[in-house]
Structure 1
Amino acid sequence: MSLLRTLSRLPRHPASALRQFSTTASRLDVSRVQVIGRIGTEPEVTQASNGTSVTKYAVASTIGYGDKQSTQWHRVIAFAYPSPERLTKGARVFLEGDLQLNVYEGEDGKKHTNVTIKQRSVSILSRPQGAGEGEQSA
């Protein structure tokens, strides 16, 4: 069978192609987010029980324009990040990661939820003034 004949039999829509070649429906689920913003807290680095470093920080992104601007805060967690000292408060970053929903019971006995971004990659777009210039990728 020729390659042209094979290609003509493939579905035209990418999602239908995934359904045809996927073994489970769960492979179609995606929960990824991309954020450009400034680091709003100094990154906190701890060690997990298995020795992996865990870095937690927050990124603020501003949406809207003029007097209709609002700031959204995003909690970020990074596992085994090689050099957390490169992340500094005020740095402008491009962040990509997966959304992670956390449900916990507070001291008041009520259930609370928060959404955290589990970092896949981060690129430093600019550093705060006085911290050096240049574009870095982490």
Structure 2
Amino acid sequence: MEITGRIVKDASVFKLKENREVVNFTIAVNDSYKPKDSTELKKIVTYINCSYWVSSKSAQWLKKGALVELFGRIGMNVYIGNDGQAHGSLTFHTSHIKILAFAKSEQDTPQVNTGTKTNSEKEPDDLPF
């Protein structure tokens, strides 16, 4: 199965027993539809919890805002809550991650040009033309 979405919060790494680690993150998948007998376009967002067991080093690239394409399978977690009722949640167990667009960092913000050059930015005197 394949899904594509944007990461909503930086990924986190959880350490488990026997030196195993899992990377957990959530993506937002945008969709739209037109209800029957309507011309208005309805937009919906679905949030999907994801886990990645292959490499915890990948967490450094899974930052808020990154656009990712994920391949894997859906898993269901079922448990009995404190209220005695059965509860469940779905998790996308990712087997392969493809980053389509990296998250913008603070360093990517445009710099204001003051019009003056520092010593390191001055043009060299020995230009060949």
Same fold per superposition (TM over 0.5): yes
Query: Which structure's relative contact order is higher, taking Cα pairs within 8 Å and 6+ residues apart?
Result: 2
Q: Structure 1 or 2: larger helix share?
A: 1
State the match for 2:78 in structure 1.
103
Q: Aligned Cα RMSD in Å?
A: 1.9
Give TM-score scaled by structure 2 length: 0.71
Amino acid paired to 1:72:
T
SS of residue matched to 2:60:
helix
- Equivalence for 2:88: 113
Question: Structure 2: which 5+ runs fail to align?
Answer: 34-39, 109-129
Partner of 1:75: 49
Structure (1 or 2) with the larger CA radius of gyration: 2
Aligned pair count? Answer: 101
Q: Which runs of 5+ in 1 are unaligned?
A: 1-32, 134-138
Supply the distance in 1 between the matched residues of 2:99 and 2:106 (Cα, whole angstroms).
12
Equivalent residues in 2 for 1:1-138, closer than 5 Å = 33-64=1-32, 67-83=41-57, 84-130=59-105
Identity %: 25
Contact 2:23 2:51 in 1 (8 A): yes
TM-score relative to the length of structure 1:
0.66
> Following TM superposition, by how much is the alpha carbon of 1:47 offset from its aligned partner in structure 2, in angstroms?
1.1
Over residues 6-53 of structure 1, what are the superposed CA-to-partner deviations in whole Å (9 max), with x where a residue is unaligned? xxxxxxxxxxxxxxxxxxxxxxxxxxx211110012211011101111
Partners of 1:34 and 1:131 in 2: CA distance: 30
Kindly state the Cα deviation for residue 131 of structure 1 after the two structures are TM-superposed. 6.4
Indicate how the Cα distance of structure 1 residues 81 and 104 shifts in structure 2: closer, same or farther if over 3 A, else same: same
